[in-house]
Structure 1
Amino acid sequence: VKNLLQSLYVLTSKSTTRRRDAGAESERRTPTPYEAMLDRQLTQLTKRLQTTLDKLQNPALGNVGIKMSAEAWWADVLDRHAATGITFTARGNMATTIPVNLFDTVLENCLENTRKKQQREPDILVSIELSCAFYGDGEQMLSITDTGSPIPSAAVDSLFRAPIANSRGSGLGIGLYQAFKQAEQAGYTLSLASNVAGEVRFALGKVSPAQR
């Protein structure tokens, strides 16, 4: 695992350097969809392997995994998804800590869903909001919203209970189910907070013990 992780760090570093050293402004170009996807996947694979290695080295981390400040995680999200047309909003206590692997898993699954949805509905807009309470590691909320059509009721009924069959091209399937189970194990909830035309929102939330 260590050797594979080191190789991925090298690939990710070279990819980042390539973007930054693109030359003069006149020579810069927008990455192709494949290049953008490759950059995202390399980053995510590296992070997941790092989390796996951390857990192997420190079993006490359990289901929560590595934590970092919301501010640092948010800065990384902005860097990964720059020039995508996504609207980003963050508010609250960004010094609070969040479980990185869980937040990455939920975010990337939801964004992959919206990318597939945009193939059918190219005019939809996507927004991401992170909200953290101002007291310790209290209430936290990550929401991903798109302005497209609602998820069919037949799919909603089993969205988090089991992998959705025959979901090819819909952007739904096993990913959200796995993200839901991971959130549950870490003490969070993943829900479909809104499902109407023009506002389809997934929300990952944690409520402090005092509010339960």
Structure 2
Amino acid sequence: MDILSFALFGLLIVISPGADTILLFRNSARYGRRIGIITALGIGAGVGVHVTYSVIGISHLISQSVWLFSVIKYIGAGYLIYLGITSLFSSKRSLTTEKFVEDNNIHSNISVFRHFLQGFLCNTLNPKTMLFFLSIFTQIAAATTNNSLLMISYGGYLAILHALWFCLLACLVTSSAATLYLEKFGHRINQTCGVGLILFGTLLSATA
């Protein structure tokens, strides 16, 4: 693939729905735009981790180690299931009340760090994302002799693209038009997101 093909492929990967999308939607719907953007930045930072170990070759080592890959897979699956279960248990809480509480604690470093960490871990602990980066960077390395700079540049592009896309989603989810539906169907949204995260975690743990 040439550079343009890599760029378009990266865009398609970013906008395709997955666990990151469900988490972003849940946090934005429950806590508002700022928390959604913080979650999006965490997701982007998680991509940076994948880029880093792909460039230095650790991802290849992980993919060749069955037990290490299994540990990462089950940790990631367990984390998604945990997030899904917490969504289900809190699905009956008032969406408006949750936003009010979060707005009054919006400057809390703990609150900001918690949601940033959720986005970061959701992306970082996903072995499917790891294998995606391994395959992409393997192709880049094979396509050019000056692969280090190209891999870093493309990795930075993907990290920024993830952050921008999910920030845009956070803004769309918390727009004035969407807010009316969120306030009316907030508990159903929590339930749907919870089931989705549990499903992703279960499928992830069951795949080879």
The TM-score normalised by the length of structure 2 is: 0.28
Instruction: Judging by fraction of residues, say which structure has more strand.
Output: 1
The two structures have a TM-score, normalised by structure 1, of 0.28
